[in-house]
Amino acid sequence: MGAITTDVEVQSSVSAQTMYKGFLLDMDNIIPKILPQAIKSLQIISGDGGVGTIKKITLGEVSQFTVVKQRIDEIDREGLRYSYSIIEGDLLMGIIDSIASKFTVVPTEGGCIFKNTTVYTPIGDAVIPEENVKEATEQSGMVFKAVEAYLLANPGAY
């Protein structure tokens, strides 16, 4: 079947810099704080928080999965780009080699457009269930809306 790619664009009234800093650069702190049912904890396994850093993420009770390992692939503060790959964990279901997510925040008049492209790469000829991809996309949207609401409610935080 091959890789599956999803593209999501969301408009926000949060400024591009605030969205980039609050959502992408500080996701390790902000998401467990505002969505503890989704992510219980994050721990750096290796690295200094920059490109190449490996994190262990313990998922919360709303997930059917328990743990993933994530590698930071890109941090471009000037271009407002950030990417990471999920490289291990039960979320890969033994059929997915990796899940790569690339984020770009585009400034607009009065806010930003938050873009996310995710590529699900299967192991060999494995078929990735479409319902899993759809569910992951919906959950990402819910996380975005929760972070956006937090940033709007805390305008001086970032």
Strands of the sheet with 67-76, listed across from one edge: 4-12, 111-122, 96-108, 81-89, 67-76, 54-59, 39-46
CA 37 – CA 33 distance, rounded (Å)? 10
Task: List all residues 6 or more positions away from 128 whose beta carbon is below 8 Å from its beta carbon.
Answer: 1, 4, 95, 96, 120, 122
CA 76 – CA 46 distance, rounded (Å)? 20
pLDDT tens column, 67-122: 999 999 999 999 999 999 999 999 999 999 999 999 999 999 999 999 999 999 99
* Domains defined for the chain, CATH in brackets: 4-153 (3.30.530.20)
Task: pLDDT band for 62, please (50, 70, 90 cuts).
Answer: confident
Measured from the Cβ of residue 59, the count of other Cβ atoms closer than 10 Å reads: 19
Q: Taking 70 as the threshold, does the pLDDT of residue 1 lie above it? A: no
Amino acid at 132: N
Question: Rounded to whole angstroms, what are the CA distances from 2 to 82, 84, 123, 124, 138?
Answer: 24, 20, 9, 8, 22
Q: Taking 80 as the threshold, does the pLDDT of residue 24 lie above it? A: yes
